[in-house]
Structure 1
C-alpha cells in the first residue's frame, strides 16, 4: 500500500470514529466506494482515469451496436427495430467513421490526455461516498446542463451557415444513423462536447463518483441516440428529452432518432 493510500485510509478511519460513518449517514454507496479506494486508489486518482473511462465506455457501446448492425441483415428479430431496415450498414461505412473517430482521438484527445497527465496532480479522493440521492440528482443535473449547452451549440451551428459548413456539416454526412456516427464530427465539435462533459460536474460541485456516472451515462445516451435502432427500452421511449431538435440547415435533410448529439 502506498503512503498516500495509507494516509487516506487512516483519515477515513478517523472520520468514522468522529461519527461520520456511512451507516449513520445512510450512504448506500459507501461500501463500494471504500472498496474502490482501498484497491484502486492510484488508478481512480489519476488524471488519465476519466479519459480512459470515457474512451473505453464509448468503444464498448459502439462495439455492441456494430455487432447488431452486422447481424441485422440475417436476423429479422434485430432488423425489425432498425430505423432503416432495408439499408444495411456496410463495412465501408464502418471503416470510414471509425477512421475519423480514431483520427480525432489521436489528434485531439491523446495530446490533451498526455498534457493532463504531465501537469495535473493526482485527484484527491474524498473519504465519503455521495448519498444515493445526491448521486442520481447530480447526474440528472449534469445531463440537463449538458443538454442545454449542446442544444444552444447545435442551434447556433444550424442557424449560421458558415458555422454549419465549417464545423458541423461533417456530422450530417450520413443520413442513415448508426452508432459510429456518434463521434463522426469535427475537432471543434468534439472539443466542445468534451469540454462540457468535463466542466459541468465541476461547476455543479459533484462528487467524483457522480462525475464518472454522468460521463458513462452521457456517452451511452449519445451513442444510443445515433445507433439507428428504436427498441422499446430506448431512452427516447423511456425518458424522452424535453429539448427538441433545431431545424436542419437549408437543403440538409437529417433523419435522426431522439435527441441529436
Structure 2
C-alpha cells in the first residue's frame, strides 16, 4: 500500500499549499528567472498607478474626488502627457540599469523553489519582518541621501523635481536610486529567509505603499488612516514641498 511521505503529509495540512502548487505548476523557469524581480517591480508599480490615473481623470469632473487632493481642491492633477513622459523615463532606467544589475544579483543569490508552502503564521511573520527590515534600511539610506550633498545631487535630486508628486512619480528617480531601492528590498527578503510566496506579498505591499505615498490624495480608505503610524500621502507630499529640487545646499531629512 502506498504511504505518503512526511513532506506530502505536511503539505496536505497547509492552507496555502494549493495556491503554491498552482503558482509553481509549469512556471519554474519564470519564477527562477533572474529578470523576474525588476520586471515584476516595474509592472506592479504601473498597475498600482492605474487607479490613481483614473482618479486624476475623474477629478476634472467630480468635486468629491477633487476634494481628496492634497491640499483639498487647490491643486490640479498632472496632465496625461506628464504621466506618459514619466512612464517612458522610468522604463528606460529599468531597461538600461535596474534590469541587468538585479539579474546579476539574482544569479548570485541562486533562489530555489521549496516543496512546501508557508503556513499562514509563517507568511505573516516573514512579510512583517521584511517590511520592518526594509523600512529600517530605507530610513537610513533616505536620511543619508538628504544629509550628504554629493549623494543628494547625484542620486536623490531627480526624485525631488516633483514639487507635487503623483502616483507614477514614486519610481521617477535616478537609475542609481531605483536600483538601490530594489536591491534593498531583495536583500531584506534574502536576509529574512523568505518563502517565495512571502516575498511576493512583501514586494506587493511595499510597492503599493510607495505608490500611495506619492499619489497626491488623502483618501478615506488610505493605509495611513487605518494605521496612524504610517505617514501616508499627506506627510510625503509635505516632504516633497519642503525639499525642492535644489543642489546648492545640504538638505535635511
1:139 Cα deviation (Å)? 0.8
Q: Does the 8 Å CA contact 1:151/1:243 hold for their aligned counterparts?
A: no
Aligned ranges for residues 178-257 of structure 1 at < 5 Å? 178-241=166-229, 252=243
TM-score (norm 2): 0.82
Contact 1:167-1:188 within 8 A present in 2 as well: yes
Runs (5+) with no aligned partner, structure 1: 1-12, 255-261
Q: How far, CA to CA, are the matches of 1:49 and 1:68 in structure 2? A: 30
Check conservation: 2:90, 2:172, Cα contact below 8 A: yes
Asked whether the 8 Å contact 1:171–1:186 carries over to 2, the reply is yes
* TM-score normalised by length of structure 1: 0.79
Q: How far has the Cα of 1:137 moved from its partner?
A: 1.5
The aligned length equals: 237
The answer on 1:55 being equivalent to 2:42 is: yes
Which stretch has the larger CA shift, 140-149 or 77-86? 77-86
Q: 1:193 Cα deviation (Å)?
A: 0.2
For residues 239-261 of structure 1, give each alpha carbon's deviation from its aligned partner in whole angstroms, at most 9, with x where no partner exists.
23468979969x7359xxxxxxx
1:127 aligns with 2:115: yes
The 3 A distance-change label for structure 1 pair 120 and 163 is closer
CA distance, structure 2, for counterparts of residue 180 and residue 71 of structure 1: 17
RMSD of the alignment, in Å? Answer: 2.9
8 A Cα contact 1:170 1:186, kept in partner = yes
State whether residues 48 and 116 of structure 1, in contact with CA within 8 Å, keep that contact through their aligned partners in structure 2: no
Extract unaligned runs of 5+ from structure 2: 246-253
Partner residue, 1:140: 128
1:21 to 8, 11, 18: 11
The answer as to whether partners of 2:38 and 2:99 remain within 8 angstroms in 1 is no
Residues 55-64 or 78-87, more deviating: 78-87
Per-residue CA deviation, residues 37-86 of structure 1 (Å, 9 max, x unaligned), is 23533332333333332222111011221222122111223222111433
